[in-house]
Amino acid sequence: MEQALESARFFVEIATIISIFGISFSVILLLYRVVFGPSNPDRIMAVDGLGVNVMGLAGLIAILLVTNHLNDVILLIGILLFIGTIALTKFEEKGVIIDRDMD
């Protein structure tokens, strides 16, 4: 039984490391899209995808470290990502983030 648990732990570590490399490659591609994107909506979507990838990286690191202390960090990143994406799209659409009535 111990040998089965050790082999399962080994395969989980290998799969996690491979996933970290894959997500890191995706982060590099998204950073390219953020810097050299053809339009602002493309840049906004790339920032959104970048945040999702950072959440995934934090989750994979939590798996490698065998801890659940990063769950709060992942939730915080998700909340800030949602608010930031809404603010950026509103700014792109209207030119302002907070509407002020002039009446």
Q: Please give the Cα distance from 14 to 29 (Å, whole number).
A: 23
User: What are the tens digits of pLDDT across the range 12-44?
Assistant: 999 999 999 999 999 999 999 999 989 988 999
Distance of alpha carbon 18 from its chain centroid, rounded?
A: 17
99 conformational bin, left if phi > 0, alpha if psi -120 to 50, beta if neither = beta
Does the predicted TM-score (pTM) go above 0.85? no
**CA 33, CA 90: separation in Å to the nearest integer?**
20
Supply the pLDDT for residue 76. 94
